Amino acid sequence: MNEFYSLIEKSFAEKNITCTSKQIEQFALYAEFLIEYNQNVNLTSIIAPEGIVNKHFIDSLTALKLPQLKTNAKCADIGTGAGFPGVPLAIMRPDIEMLLVDSLKKRLVFLDLLAEKADIKNISTLHCRSEDGGRNPKYREKFDIALSRAVARLNVLCELNLPFLAGGGFMLAYKGPAVLEEIPEADKAIKVLGGHFEQFYHDATDTATQHGVVIVKKIRSTPPQYPRQAGKLEKEPIR
């Protein structure tokens, strides 16, 4: 863990990310456990220490700079995979609640074990398809923030994320610069699903960060027919 601790401490300092020694320890445990668990369960293709710190941890923390991530926000990471971006944000922001949603149980087993191992108390997991979670009254329109990283094209992503958001909440979709081509394509989906496009936040000077963040505000309730059944979204996206 000492190797990762020093690397994380140095890398975060270079990006002006301020954190406590406990938070650095939590990230170090996360990195070590990710590499260990990945030997048996395919969670990530990025296993080099510098890659994990820069392409997973620092990249996930892009949303820390956004005012939309308010104090005590109730968040859902839709299609969380190995916990990105939800877990790094939860480590840095112990005030927020983070629900990690994924359709593969083996990923959530890893995340539950990680939460216990690294003493991350503000995350929980939900095993379901995003389409089913968005229709479930327990989760529909109950969140302040819905996050996703590298899950789907923006028009599809809106149908997966916006149903989770309460009025006034925000979808924060991590996307590369190529998303500028997807934003016009997603215009109808955003409007139909009750959203309003705010901006694409991207720090062009930060070469370590792979993604910017598409910010969409929920301004009215999502019509009850959305999200549609699994498969329908990708085959017949809202255009």
Residue 173 has a pLDDT of 96
The predicted model scores a pTM of: 0.95
* Helical packing angle, 105-117 and 21-38, nearest 10°: 140
The architecture in CATH of the region 63-235 reads 3-Layer(aba) Sandwich (3.40)
Question: Is 229 a residue whose pLDDT tops 60?
Answer: yes
Looking at residue 107, what DSSP letter applies? H
Mean pLDDT along residues 21-26: 97
Mean pLDDT along residues 220-238: 92
Per-residue confidence at 187, pLDDT binned at 50, 70, 90? Answer: very high
Question: Is 210 a residue whose pLDDT tops 90?
Answer: no
Each domain of the chain, given as residue ranges in start order, spans 63-235
